[in-house]
Amino acid sequence: MKATTKNKQERVLTGITTTGTPHLGNYVGAIRPAIAASKQNDVSAYYFLADFHALIKCQDPQVVHKSTQEIAATWLAFGLDPNNVAFYRQSDIPEIPQLCWYLNCIAPKGLMNRAHAYKDATQKNIDSGEDNDFGVAMGLFSYPVLMAADILMFNGTKVPVGRDQIQHIEMARDIAQRFNYLYGKHFSLPEAVVDSETAVLQGLDGRKMSKSYGNTIPLFLPENQLKKHINKIKTNLLEPGEPKDPETSAIFQIWKAFAPQKQTDYMRKEFENGIAWGEAKKQLFELVNGEIEGPRVRYNELMESPDYIESILCEGARKARTYSVPFLEKLNKAVGLYSLEKGSS
């Protein structure tokens, strides 16, 4: 993530949906830059496990529960220091769903109609001759409002996200502006931070590495499994000795995301010199494994210590709520929900 302007007021906030097991793409695209950002001492950082969001996509309680632990363990294993951030579970902050309702009451429905996730779902239905809203739950439809509540509850100003989420941050701004217009200026307007430098990894089949394509390399596979996955990365039929194009190769793209500049230059030469695919994969395995073997040990230890993770998350929620509890009280008053006793206005 690019260093943002030095400003003590900067509040970096981002959420990680707790469905599925983290993969190499999540690491280079989100985890690594977010941990780096949390080390800057001129920002306050709020990172949370978006488990309310997980329920939109996944109705398997065990998967949601386990994924929460896996994702928390992953962030901690890579060195997220809970002293630098408020690291919490969304469902531990009851102020979020309460604010979400206030926002729902003012968020224009027409705005939600334009959200990509909803539009994709309805388009699929139209293409297959179903009713537009077939299988679309209210959770999916109003998901940008929940995201707005996540952000506005902590007055997040900088929100590091993937490109696909920019629209949601813009919606959060619109909703914040509308609230401010109606009730007074309570919310700062959040901005998406999308780093063009951040790698978007290709997956095993050359498309973007993504859970939904089933082409991922999970982060903390045992070594031999990691090797197997890397060996499965799709290549073309060029023989050893034939020059290969680094720019179209998933192997090279992953290499670049893990290697310092010098090693990237080295591999580009190797491609020009016709490195064998098998050899390139072997070197890629060593490079990636080198970066994750330490964290893998910590991850496995953490997965054996759920009580420890729980204590970190509870402390994170406590810290986060020192902001959200008094802020929600102010918002309650702003919308007109407060005690009838004299003197409480």
Distances (CA, A) of 7 to 44, 186, 201, 283, 292: 10, 20, 31, 41, 33
Helix (H, G, I), strand (E, B) or coil at 193: strand
Q: Which residue is nearest to ligand TRP (CB)?
A: 15
Q: At what angle do helices 277-303 and 261-272 cross, to 10 degrees?
A: 150
Q: Is 17 in the site for ligand TRP (CB under 6 A)?
A: yes
With beta carbons less than 8 A apart as the criterion, state whether 217 and 209 touch: yes
Only segment of 98-106, 107-115, 146-154, 284-292 that touches ligand TRP (CB under 6 A): 146-154
- The residue with tokens 């959060």 is 172
How many chain residues interact with ligand TRP (CB under 6 A)?
12
Q: Residue 271 CB, nearest distance to ligand TRP (Å)?
A: 33
Contact flag: residue 159 with ligand TRP (CB under 6 A): yes
Under 8 Å between Cβ of 15 and 49: yes
* Site map (CB under 6 A) of ligand TRP, residues 301-330, x = contact: ------------------------------
* DSSP-derived secondary structure letter, 343: T
Query: Between residue 37 and residue 96, which ones bind ligand TRP under the rule CB under 6 A?
Result: 50, 53
Asked if 187 contacts 328 with a C-beta cutoff of 8 angstroms, the reply is no
CB of 15 to ligand TRP, least distance (A): 3
Our finding on whether 165 is near ligand TRP (CB under 6 A) is: yes
Q: Which of 93, 151, 250, 302 binds ligand TRP (CB under 6 A)?
A: 151
Q: In this complex, which beta carbon is closest to ligand TRP, that of residue 50 or of residue 77?
A: 50
Single-letter code of the amino acid located at 144: P
Nearer to ligand TRP, 99 or 267 (CB): 99
Find the shortest distance in angstroms from Cβ 149 to ligand TRP.
9
Please choose, out of 120-128, 147-155, 228-236, 262-270, the segment that lies near ligand TRP by the rule CB under 6 A. 147-155
In the bound complex, what is the minimum distance in angstroms from residue 223's beta carbon to ligand TRP?
29
Radius of gyration of the chain (CA): 22
Judge whether 271 and 243 are in contact, CB under 8 Å. Answer: yes
CA–CA dist 305, 320 (Å, integer): 23
Of the candidate residues 1, 64, 96, 147, the single one contacting ligand TRP (CB under 6 A): 147
For residue 306, give the nearest of 93, 78, 76 by alpha carbon: 76
- Applying CB under 6 A, the residues found at the interface with ligand TRP are 13-15, 17, 50, 53, 147, 150-151, 159, 161, 165
